[in-house]
Amino acid sequence: MLPFEEALERVLGNARRLGSERVAVGDALGRVLAETLRADSPMPAFDYSAMDGYAVASSGFHGAMPVTLPVVGESQTGHEPPELTPGTACRIFTGAVLPAGADAVVMQENVERDGDRATFSAQPKAGDHVRHAGEDLAVGQVAVKAGTRLGGGQLGLCAALDRAHVHVARRPRVTIVCTGDELRAPGEKPWPGSIPESNGIALSGWVRQAGGEPVIAPLARDDREATSMALRTALAESDVVLTVGGVSVGDHDVVRPALEAAGATLDFYKVRIKPGKPLVFGNAGTTHVLGLPGNPVSAQVTFALFGMALLRTMQGDAQARPPLRRGRLAKPLRQKPGRRGYYRAQHSAEGVIPLDNQASGAPTSMAWADCLVIVPEDSEGFEAGTEVDVIQLGDL
């Protein structure tokens, strides 16, 4: 049974990097950038006014104030400005190009206008209310690094760089194979002992969150030969195959031998964590296999810890692993030593509150939690008020 860090390093060390594809910037939300973007021209491309007012040459103001200057024209956004001659002013609007010969803008609130003349009560300084070319990005400066997962801010910057398309990592195709005689589709007529299958839906959401393209395979029954056939199909069509359930050592746990019969080589099948001790990782050619426990919480926690990082690494995500944050426990948290614990919890004004129901078969805990509290494997837990490591589910 492997400790968590060793198991994760084995998974990520085996991760196969995917190729890239060219997509429109407007379609790149959540994708991982496969190229480093640099500024081809200065940003902004020209000096412009930071507010409405009057463009002037500061050197033309000498002696006692106020000073009255003729207004020779105006500079509007999207239009070429007039050239400013010494001893004149130009009406200018926010975002408009600063006229040649001007080096400052005086706010319109500080100017008295009378026809084609403007009176200034205070002497401007060079650079007042001017945004200079290249102030944000110089030519050749890195704007967005490869490995960045693109959010709204990064997409806006890509467009500001005049990029209509970007190269991003291909989305990993992930087939989810849920196993168990007791499973039925949600809404299907129940039979004695049956339960609605929820893991496939939950995991498909997690896969999308990690940038993957999920495919939920037809339910596989607890039959080795049938499961092996289903896995052969999934392995041939996927970058990653997730199996759910049947990875332990019970009489009806057929996934491990079925994977091997389908051509997979298994690296490990137990990790010293809870929930989620039975966890399989292996490869079949270029396809990765992750065998998750069948309990809803165990399946989601193990995928959050291993599957999310695997998919992000395959896409070249620079932040493949979620950052560890700190929180203060609002009530005690106990565990039996021996495995590293990941306990579902919520943030509150009082601190981090572990949920009362930590059973691995209780889907409410993953639906209601906003973080996982980490308890080291050699620890018996923590008292209220202790600072602990947490993983924010929103960081995944």
| Tens digits of residue pLDDT in 340-375 | 999 999 999 999 999 999 998 888 999 999 999 999
Query: How would you write the chain as a 3-class SS string?
Result: CECHHHHHHHHHHHCCCCCEEEEEHHHCCCCEECCCEECCCCECCCCEECCCEEEECHHHCCCCCCEEEEEEEEECCCCCCCCCCCCCEEEECCCCECCCCCCEEEEHHHEEEECCEEEECCCCCCCCCEECCCCCECCCCEEECCCCECCHHHHHHHHHCCCCEEEEECCCEEEEEEECCCEECCCCCCCCCCEECCHHHHHHHHHHHCCCEEEECCCECCCHHHHHHHHHHHHHHCCEEEEECCCCCCCCCCHHHHHHHCCCEEEEEEECEECCCEEEEEEECCEEEEEECCCHHHHHHHHHHHHHHHHHHHCCCCCCCCCCEEEEECCCEECCCCCEEEEEEEEECCEEEECCCCCCCCCHHHHHCCEEEEECCCCCEECCCCEEEEEEHHHC
pLDDT in tens, 80-128: 999 998 899 999 999 999 999 999 999 999 999 999 999 999 889 999 9
Note the pLDDT of residue 293.
93
Q: Where are the domains of the chain?
A: 4-18+171-314, 20-43+135-169, 48-131, 325-395
pLDDT-based confidence at 251, cuts 50/70/90?
low
Q: Which CATH number fits domain 20-43+135-169: 3.90.226.10, 1.10.8.10, 3.80.10.10, 3.90.105.10?
A: 3.90.105.10
Domains 4-18+171-314 and 20-43+135-169 share a fold: no
Note the pLDDT of residue 249.
62
Tell me what the mean pLDDT of segment 168-196 comes to. Answer: 92
Tell me what the mean pLDDT of segment 325-341 comes to. Answer: 96
The yes-or-no verdict on residue 248 having pLDDT over 90 is no
By CB atoms closer than 10 A (0-12, 13-18, 19+), residue 393 is middle
| Superfamily designation of domain 325-395 | MoeA, C-terminal, domain IV (2.40.340.10)
Q: What is the mean pLDDT of the chain?
A: 94
Whether the bond into 44 is cis, omega within 30 of 0:
yes
CA 37 to chain CA mean position, Å? 18
| Superfamily designation of domain 4-18+171-314 | MoaB/Mog-like domain (3.40.980.10)
The yes-or-no verdict on residue 63 having pLDDT over 80 is no
Place of tokens 């998974």: 11
Q: Which residues contact 153 (CB under 8 A, 6 or more apart)?
A: none
Tell me what the mean pLDDT of segment 308-330 comes to. Answer: 96
What is d(CA 341, CA 273) in angstroms, rounded to the nearest whole number?
6
Bridge partners (DSSP) listed for residue 341: 274, 375
CATH of domain 48-131: 2.170.190.11
Note the pLDDT of residue 250.
62
pLDDT in tens, 36-53: 999 999 999 999 999 999
What is d(CA 385, CA 350) in angstroms, rounded to the nearest whole number?
10
The yes-or-no verdict on residue 252 having pLDDT over 60 is no
